[in-house]
C-alpha cells in the first residue's frame, strides 16, 4: 500500500496535491460544461456540491475497479517467486485508493461546511454521515469485486484491459454522476435503475445534500448485487489464482 501510494506521485511537481487537484479540475469542467453550457439543473443543491459529490464517489469506484483489475498481470513477477495470499495485493491497492478518497471526501465536507455557514442553503436530510459511510463501504466492495473478476480475465486475455477502460467510460454515462435521476425521461429511467451504482449515488447525495431519488427496494437491490458479486469474485479469484501462474 505504501509503495503504490508513493510510486504514484514520484517525479511529479505537485506530488500528493494531485489527489485534490484532479477532482477540483474535473469539478471546474463539469460546472462550466454541464452547468453553464448545457444547463443541466441540479435542483435545490448548489452545482459545486452536486458535481463534487458525484466526482468523489465515482473516482473511488473507478480507481478501485481499474486499479485491481490488473492484479495478476502487474504482479506476476512477485506471485511466481513466493507464495502469499494473492488477495493481499488488490486489497492493499484498494486501501491506498481509500486513503486518497479520504482526502477528497474531507475536501467535500469542507465545501459542504462552507455552504452551511456562509450561504442560505441547507440540506434537509437528518441521517447524514452514517448513510454516506455505508455507501462508501458498498462502493468499495463493489469495485473490489469487479476488479477481482476482471483480474482473472485480464490474466488470461490481455486485451480485456482495453475493455475495462472503455467499459468504465461508458458506465459513467449510465450513472448519475453529473446529472440528477429526476431529469432523465421516465421511459428511459429503467436503464439507470438496472445499474446497481445508481441507488448508491442517489443515496450518497441524499444523505449529504438532501436530494436524490432512491427507495429501500433499490438500495436492497444494490446491496444484494454487491454482496453476490463479491462472493462470486472471491471464489473465482481464489480458485483461478494458482492456475493463472502458468499463463501470465
Q: What is the structure's pLDDT at 66?
A: 92
Q: What is the pTM of this model?
A: 0.90
pLDDT tens digits, 93-138: 899 899 999 999 999 999 999 998 888 888 765 557 889 999 999 9
Distance from CA of residue 69 to its chain's centroid?
A: 14
Lowest mean pLDDT: which of 13-17, 46-50, 99-103, 238-242? 13-17
pLDDT tens digits, 160-206: 777 888 899 999 999 999 999 988 888 888 889 999 999 999 999 99
Question: What average pLDDT does this structure show over 134-150?
Answer: 95
Q: Is the pLDDT of residue 71 over 70?
A: yes
Q: Is the pLDDT of residue 16 over 90?
A: no
Q: Are the C-beta atoms of 104 and 157 separated by less than 8 Å?
A: no
Q: What is the structure's pLDDT at 176?
A: 95
Q: What is the structure's pLDDT at 197?
A: 97
Q: Is the pLDDT of residue 76 over 80?
A: no
Whole-number mean pLDDT of the chain?
Answer: 87
Q: Is the pLDDT of residue 11 over 70?
A: no
Q: Is the pLDDT of residue 245 over 90?
A: no
What is the DSSP code (8-state) at residue 139? H
Strands (E) in the chain, as ranges, are: none
Q: Are the C-beta atoms of 53 and 101 separated by less than 8 Å?
A: no
DSSP assignments along 200-248, one per residue: HHHHHHHHHHS-----HHHHHHHHHHHHHHHHHHHHHHHHHHHHHTTT-
Reported as a pLDDT band with limits 50, 70 and 90, residue 62 is: very high
Amino acid at each position: 500500500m505504501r509503495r503504490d501510494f508513493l510510486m504514484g506521485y514520484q517525479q511529479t511537481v505537485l506530488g500528493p496535491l494531485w489527489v485534490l487537484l484532479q477532482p477540483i479540475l474535473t469539478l471546474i469542467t463539469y460546472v462550466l460544461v454541464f452547468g453553464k453550457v448545457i444547463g443541466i439543473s441540479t435542483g435545490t443543491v448548489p452545482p459545486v456540491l452536486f458535481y463534487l459529490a458525484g466526482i468523489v464517489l465515482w473516482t473511488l469506484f473507478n480507481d478501485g475497479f481499474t486499479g485491481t483489475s490488473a492484479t495478476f498481470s502487474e504482479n506476476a513477477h512477485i506471485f511466481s517467486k513466493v507464495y502469499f495470499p494473492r488477495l493481499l495485493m488488490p486489497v492493499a491497492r484498494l486501501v491506498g485508493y481509500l486513503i486518497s478518497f479520504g482526502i477528497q471526501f474531507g475536501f467535500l465536507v469542507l465545501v459542504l461546511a462552507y455552504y452551511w455557514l456562509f450561504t442560505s442553503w441547507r440540506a434537509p436530510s437528518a441521517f447524514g454521515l452514517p448513510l454516506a459511510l455505508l455507501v462508501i463501504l458498498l462502493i468499495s466492495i463493489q469495485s473490489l469485486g469487479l476488479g477481482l473478476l476482471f483480474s482473472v480475465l485480464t490474466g488470461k486475455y490481455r486485451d480485456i484491459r482495453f475493455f475495462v477502460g472503455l467499459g468504465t467510460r461508458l458506465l459513467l454515462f449510465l450513472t448519475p454522476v453529473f446529472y440528477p435521476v429526476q431529469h432523465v425521461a421516465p421511459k428511459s429511467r429503467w436503464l439507470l435503475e438496472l445499474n446497481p451504482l445508481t441507488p448508491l449515488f442517489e443515496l450518497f447525495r441524499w444523505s449529504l445534500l438532501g436530494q436524490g431519488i432512491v427507495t429501500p427496494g433499490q438500495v436492497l437491490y444494490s446491496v444484494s448485487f454487491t454482496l453476490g458479486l463479491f462472493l462470486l469474485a472471491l471464489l473465482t479469484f481464489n480458485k483461478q489464482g494458482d492456475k493463472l501462474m502458468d499463463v501470465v
